[in-house]
């Protein structure tokens, strides 16, 4: 089979790595890919959002299966487009993607179907937003969210009234997140541990992946602004068997079933971002795709053929193929460019990668990297994810940090407390 993977992040490198192990696969293409995917796939210079170009390429190259990494092409309707032309593609259709692309849709969907989530109100103007904040319905801290896609950055947690009003202005008047901020969701702030819970959904049935925990804030001890994710471990240390069953029963099954009933059959990976509160698990957000960096940690634990699983999702018989997971934990630490998630510089040569490849049990999944002559240089905020899976979480993290000590680039930044859950930091 010929496989086309869309995207350029660590998630896509990890998917390409896993897919390359499939007995079904002859050749992998990655659009646009990065310096890491270039080693196992042929990179194709097409932007991930250029869905018409991608369609043309897939038809011309006779791609047997296209796998979509990021949310933007999904929200633009890439799956609908490919399906019209009878090209196989893994991911949900545009109307199912709305569960991520519109926070208002997803909050109202959860309210309609009593799926546990934070209380909320919607504002379609600055005045309405101020009125909601002034009504006393919400105590502080309160959360203000842009309605549309904002690359994980459109969520502002406000400790007091001034901050909340500023957040409304930033989103609705200054339009920091563009059109995504025409409407906002104002919601109750939830407290607890966060978890990322993913399932393969074939439209009617769902099979869970192993649980994970992301580390969203940029600095140690969960300080600083939120990022796309600075590291992940699997499993989540906070989800036992009972809680796992509760999440499936009260959140995952109702989500998949109700979406189907509403004419939005969901096929692909459904990612549920959860807050594990004193009153049970509640949904923070849905994503219509694999998580990043979570997927990097998950792929290390997957025993089995990812292509076969994706085929079973497309063919709507996800129970046909048994996925096995290693019982060993795994971890991923992101090496980022100094300054990320705000301004950062690109083009810094990365040293030490050759030393890494001689280490067994370490996978370095590239994200913002590119080849420049004989060098590999930085090309984004999140540069790469260093991953391992050992007998215990401690051994796993020790191995990862030992590997990181061999890598260097100017202004390299990473968190030193990924997986440090025992000290009560999480
Ligand atoms: P979202 O994009 O909606 O997942 O939000 C991004 C991050 O903001 C989440 O991972 C949480 O850390 C935080 N967040 C979002 N909604 C809430 C909430 N209601 N209460 C507390 N934290 C939240
Ligand atoms: N790591 C968070 C996400 O993939 O949305």
3-state DSSP helix/strand/coil % of the chain, to nearest 5 = 30, 30, 40
Rounded to whole angstroms, what are the CA distances from 49 to 53, 59, 70, 207?
A: 9, 17, 9, 29
pLDDT tens digits, one per residue of 313-357: 999 999 998 899 999 999 999 999 999 999 999 999 999 999 888
- Range list of β-strands (E), 64-119: 65-68, 89-90
Q: How far is CA 243 from the centre of its chain?
A: 22
To test the pocket of ligand 2, the residue of 271, 284, 382, 418 to mutate (highest count of ligand atoms within 8 Å of its CB) is 271
Instruction: Give the Cα separation of 14 and 209 in Å (integer).
Output: 15
Please tell me the predicted confidence (pLDDT) of residue 426: 41
Residue ID of nearest Cα to ligand 1 atom 4? 285
Q: For the whole model, what pTM was predicted? A: 0.95
Q: Using one digit for the tens of pLDDT, what is the confidence trace for 190-222?
A: 999 999 999 999 999 999 999 999 999 999 999
Atom of ligand 2 nearest to the CA of 287: 5
Render pLDDT for 245-275 as a digit per residue (tens, 0 to 9). Answer: 999 999 999 999 999 999 999 999 999 999 9
**Ligand 2, from 228, 231, 381: best to mutate by most atoms within 8 Å of Cβ?**
228
pLDDT in tens, 55-71: 999 999 999 999 999 99
- The residue with tokens 């990021």 is 70
Percent of the chain at pLDDT > 90 equals 89
Query: Residues 411, 332, 284, CA angle at the centre, nearest 5°?
Result: 100
CA 194 to ligand 1 center in whole angstroms: 9
User: What are the structural domains of the chain?
Assistant: 2-91 (3.40.50.20), 125-182 (3.30.1490), 193-325 (3.30.470.20), 330-404 (3.90.600.10)
The larger pLDDT score, comparing residue 15 to residue 151, is at 15
């Amino acid at each position: 089979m010929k496989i086309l993977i869309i995207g350029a992040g660590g998630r896509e490198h990890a998917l390409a790595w896993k897919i390359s192990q499939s007995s079904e696969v002859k050749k992998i293409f990655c659009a646009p890919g990065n310096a890491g995917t270039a080693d196992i796939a042929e990179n194709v210079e097409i932007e991930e959002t250029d869905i018409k170009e991608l369609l043309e390429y897939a038809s011309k190259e006779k791609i047997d299966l296209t796998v979509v990494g990021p949310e933007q092409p999904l929200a633009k309707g890439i799956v609908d487009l490919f399906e019209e032309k009878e090209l196989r593609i893994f991911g949900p259709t545009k109307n199912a993607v709305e569960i991520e692309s519109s926070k208002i849709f997803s909050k109202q969907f959860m309210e309609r179907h009593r799926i546990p989530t934070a209380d909320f109100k919607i504002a379609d103007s600055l005045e309405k937003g101020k009125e909601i904040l002034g009504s006393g319905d919400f105590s502080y801290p309160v959360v203000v969210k842009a309605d549309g896609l904002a690359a994980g950055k459109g969520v502002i947690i406000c400790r007091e009234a001034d901050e909340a009003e500023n957040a409304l202005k930033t989103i609705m008047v200054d339009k920091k997140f563009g059109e995504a901020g025409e409407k906002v969701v104002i919601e109750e702030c939830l407290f607890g541990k966060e978890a990322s819970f993913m399932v393969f959904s074939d439209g009617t049935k769902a099979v869970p992946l192993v649980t994970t925990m992301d580390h969203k804030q940029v600095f140690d001890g969960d300080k600083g602004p939120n990022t796309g994710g600075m590291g992940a471990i699997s499993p989540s240390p906070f989800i036992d068997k009972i809680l796992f069953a509760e999440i499936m029963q009260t959140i995952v099954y109702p989500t998949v079933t109700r979406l189907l009933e509403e004419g939005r059959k969901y096929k692909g990976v459904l990612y549920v971002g959860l807050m594990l509160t004193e009153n049970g698990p509640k949904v923070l957000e849905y994503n219509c795709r694999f998580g990043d960096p979570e997927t990097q940690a998950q792929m290390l634990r997957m025993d089995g053929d990812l292509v076969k699983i994706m085929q079973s999702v497309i063919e709507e018989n996800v129970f046909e193929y048994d996925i096995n997971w290693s019982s060993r934990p795994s971890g991923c630490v992101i090496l980022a460019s100094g300054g990320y998630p705000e301004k950062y510089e690109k083009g810094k040569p990365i040293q030490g990668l050759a030393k890494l490849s001689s280490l067994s049990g370490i996978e370095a999944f590239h994200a913002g990297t590119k080849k420049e002559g004989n060098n590999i240089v930085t090309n984004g905020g999140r540069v790469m994810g260093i991953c391992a899976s050992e007998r215990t979480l401690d051994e796993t993290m020790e191995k990862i940090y030992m590997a990181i000590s061999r890598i260097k680039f100017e202004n390299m930044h990473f968190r030193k407390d990924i997986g440090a859950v025992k000290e009560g930091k999480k």
